Structure 1
Amino acid sequence: MSALTPPLQTPSTRWAFEAYQRVRPRLPISASTNVTPEFVPSLGAIADQFDGFIFDAFGVLNAGNTALPTAVARFHELQAMGKHCLILSNAATAPQQQLVKKYRHLGFPITQEQLISSRMLVSDALAREKEQTWAVMAPASAHADQLPCHSFVIANQTVKANREKLDNADAILMLSAQGWTEELQQSLTESLHRRSRPVWVANPDLVAPREKGLSLEPGHYAHRLIDATGRDTVFFGKPFRNAFDAAKNRLSHIPASRLLMVGDTLHTDILGGRSSGISTMLVTAHGALKGLDVTSCIELSGIVPDFIAPEI
C-alpha cells in the first residue's frame, strides 16, 4: 500500500504536512542549524538585511489565479528599493511565457528573467536529452507539444484503445495533475511494471493552494508511483538542488548571505533554501500550513526557518 494514500476529499493542510513527513527520506537533507526562528510582522521588517529575494508563488504571492492581498504592494515596494526579486515556482502546467503573463496580469511587474519555473527547468533538461518519445501526464491546456521532445499526452482514450503506445514510450514525464484520475494512475503503474523506464517529475509539490483549498499535484502521484514500482525518479523543482542552483545562478552577483527564500511550505521552500545555504522566511496565513500549529510543525519536521511571518 502506498504511503500516500489519496484523501477521500479535498486534502487538508494537516494531511499534506503528514504526507510530506512520510516522503521526507526522499527529500534533500537540511543543513544542521541551531537557529531559533524570529517572528516578524511582515517581510518589510527585515527587507534591509537582504538584497535578493526568491519568492515561492502559490501560497505566498497568489492562491490559484488570485493575487494575495499584500503581496503585490510588497513586490512593488522591494523593486522600488532596488532589491532583486525572483519567483521560483514549481508550476509546470503553463509554458514559461504564459506563466510570466499570468503574474504580470496579477500585478507583479516581472520580466522573463525574474521567473524560474519547474516547466523551464525540465524543458532545458529535455533539450539536452537524446531523441526519444515521452509519455506526458498533462491536460491539453498544458501544450505538451511545445516541449523540446517527441511526446504524447497520457489520456483515457490512449490507454483504452492502445495500451502498447504507453508501454512503448521511452520515458515518462509527470508535468501536470490537472485532469489526472485514479484510473490513469493505475494504468501508468501497470505500464511501468510491464516495462521499466525513466520517470521525470516536473512539479515535486504534493499539494498547491487554490482559491477553495488544496489541489493534489504531480509530486503526490510520483511518490505513489515510487511506492508501487520501486522506480527511481528525477524531480525538477523545490526542494531539489536544480531549482536552487538556477535561482542562485540568476542572482550570482549577490552573496548568498544576502539572499532570502520566502515560502509557505517547510518541506519544499524552507528545506530547499536551507539545503542550498541561504536564509529562509516562512509565511503562514494562506498556504500549506494555514490553520496548523506552526511551531509544532517545525519541531516535528526539524526544518527550521530563520524568520516567520503571516504574509509578506
Structure 2
Amino acid sequence: MTRIIGALDEIGANYDVLFCDLWGCVHNGIEAYPAAVAALQRFRRGGGQVCLMTNAPRPAPQVESSFDRLGIPADAYDTIVTSGDAAQDALFAGAVGRRVWHLGPAKDDAFFDPPPEWADADPIARVELEDAEGIVCTGPFNEDEEAPEDYRASLMIAREMGLKLLCANPDIVVDLGERRIYCAGAIAEFYQQLGGESLYFGKPHPPIYDLARRRLSLKPDARVLVIGDGIKTDIAGAQGEGLDSIFITGGLAAEHMGADVENPDHRLLTDWLSPQMLQPSYAMGRLR
C-alpha cells in the first residue's frame, strides 16, 4: 500500500540517489517550487546524489540553460538526463534513417546538433515528409493551439510510407502554469492508433535510466528513489526498473486528490490508483 508522507526528510536517509522529475515536481514551467528546491538541497547536503530526469525533448545543456530563469540553483542537483539525450543517441545511431521529417517547434532545433560522442557521424538532414526515411517528433508545431488530431492527414501518409516515428518526449501532457499542453508522446500514441510504429527513449523506457546510471557512475547496489507526478511515466518507469518511488499527487493528478493540493486524501488516492495497476511506494502532495 502507498504510504503518504509529509516531506522527503522522512525517508531520504534510506536512499543514496534521487531520480527526480522536473516539470510538475521541481517547477511548473514558469518558476521553481521553493520547497522542492530546498528538499533537493537538503538531500545533497546529507551526502545523496540528485539526477534531474526529464522527458524534455531537448539535450541536457539546453534544459539547464533555463534554470536561472526558473530559479533552480546549481546546488540542487548533480546531473541532468533528458529524454532528448537518450533519443538523440538513437537518432544519430540511425534508428529512423538520416533523412527525417521534424514534427516539432523551432525551440527544439538543438536536438539535431550532434553530441560530442557522435561528432564524426553522418549528419541528419531535415526534409519534407514526402522525402523522409523517418519522423522525429519533439511535440506539436504550435503547442499553444494544436492537438494530435491536427496531424491525422500527415500521419496517415507517414503510415502508408512505412515510416517509424522517433518520439523525443513520451509525456502525453504537461501543465504550463495553469495551461495544459500536448507533448510528443500524445502524437506518438496517436500515430500508433493509426497503425504506425513509434519508438520511445524517455521515461518509462529503459534507455533513460541506463543513461542516468552511467552519468552518475552508480554502483549496482546504489539505493535509488524515483520522484515524479506522471503515473504512466515516472511511476511506471520506477516499477519497471524495480525502484521505490514517490508519487507527487499535486502535479498532473491534482484534481483527483481532494481540495488541499499539499495533502492528498488517502481514500481518493487509493481509489484513483486502483485502475492504474501501479503502486508507488510513497505519495506526497508537493515535493518538500
TM-score w.r.t. length of structure 1: 0.77
* SS of aligned partner of 1:219: helix
Cα 1:145–1:240 change in 2 (3 A) is closer
In structure 1, the gaps of 5 or more residues are 1-35, 154-164
Q: Tell me how far 1:254 sits from its aligned partner.
A: 4.3
Cα 1:178–1:210 change in 2 (3 A) is farther
Aligned 8 A contact 1:104 1:110 in 2: no
Matched, 1:174 2:137: yes
Matching residue within 15, 18, 22 for 1:57: 22
1:197 counterpart residue number: 163
Query: Counterpart of 2:273 in structure 1: which amino acid?
Result: I
* SS of aligned partner of 2:66: helix
| Distance of 1:202 and 1:258 partners within structure 2 | 28
| Distance of 1:279 and 1:97 partners within structure 2 | 28
Identity %: 23
Aligned 8 A contact 1:103 1:110 in 2: no
Q: CA-to-partner distance for each residue in 1:24-72, whole Å, 9 max, x for gaps?
A: xxxxxxxxxxxx1111101111111111011011111011121123111
The correspondence of residues 142-291 of structure 1 with structure 2, limited to 5 A, is 142-144=108-110, 146-148=112-114, 149-152=123-126, 165-179=128-142, 181=146, 185-228=151-194, 230-256=195-221, 258-285=223-250, 287-291=251-255
Aligned 8 A contact 1:55 1:88 in 2: yes
Q: Give the number of equivalent residue pairs.
A: 263
Q: CA-to-partner distance for each residue in 1:272-302, whole Å, 9 max, x for gaps?
A: 00110111111112x1110213221211111
Query: Counterpart of 1:72 in structure 2: which amino acid?
Result: V
Q: Tell me how far 1:173 sits from its aligned partner.
A: 0.7
| Distance of 2:196 and 2:113 partners within structure 1 | 24
Aligned 8 A contact 2:21 2:234 in 1: yes
| Distance of 1:283 and 1:112 partners within structure 2 | 18
2:13 counterpart residue number: 48
Aligned 8 A contact 2:84 2:111 in 1: no
Cα 1:262–1:178 change in 2 (3 A) is farther
Q: Tell me how far 1:178 sits from its aligned partner.
A: 4.8
1:74 counterpart residue number: 39
Cα 1:104–1:82 change in 2 (3 A) is farther
In structure 2, the gaps of 5 or more residues are 115-122, 257-267
Return the structure number with greater relative CO, CA threshold 8 A, min gap 6: 1
* SS of aligned partner of 1:220: helix
Q: Tell me how far 1:171 sits from its aligned partner.
A: 0.4
| Distance of 1:275 and 1:40 partners within structure 2 | 23
TM-score w.r.t. length of structure 2: 0.83
Q: Tell me how far 1:179 sits from its aligned partner.
A: 0.7
Cα 1:129–1:113 change in 2 (3 A) is farther
Aligned 8 A contact 2:40 2:50 in 1: yes
Query: Counterpart of 2:25 in structure 1: which amino acid?
Result: V
Aligned 8 A contact 1:144 1:151 in 2: no
